Amino acid sequence: MSPIFPCKGCGTFIERSTQHYRRVKGQVLCSTCADARDAAAQMRPVFWRRWLQRFRWQSGGGC
């Protein structure tokens, strides 16, 4: 049986191997928090790209 660790995102207790715990240096995430983190990471470039396009348009630097 694997040890139980608290998720660093939401605090729910999840079962993970000690090897995984050591590999991620104690930053264990449940699947829900890991998915949310990945989705947020994918959204960041889109946000900045749109922001830069708006800034260029307002400053008259392009289409």
Give pLDDT, residue 60: 66
The pLDDT confidence band at residue 62, using thresholds 50, 70 and 90, is low
Specify the number of domains making up the chain.
Answer: 1
Q: What element of type H or E holds 15?
A: strand 13-15
Tell which wins on pLDDT, 63 or 58: 58
3-state secondary structure of 5: strand
State the pairing for strand pair 4-6/13-15.
antiparallel
Please answer whether residues 3 and 11 qualify as being in contact, where contact means their C-beta atoms are separated by less than 8 angstroms.
Answer: no
Angle at 17 between CA 1 and CA 29, to 5 degrees: 120
- Domain with 45, as residue range(s), is 4-58
Whole-model pTM above 0.75? no
pLDDT per residue as tens digits for the range 1-48: 789 999 999 999 999 999 999 999 989 999 999 999 988 877 777 777
- d(C-alpha 60, C-alpha 41), whole Å: 30
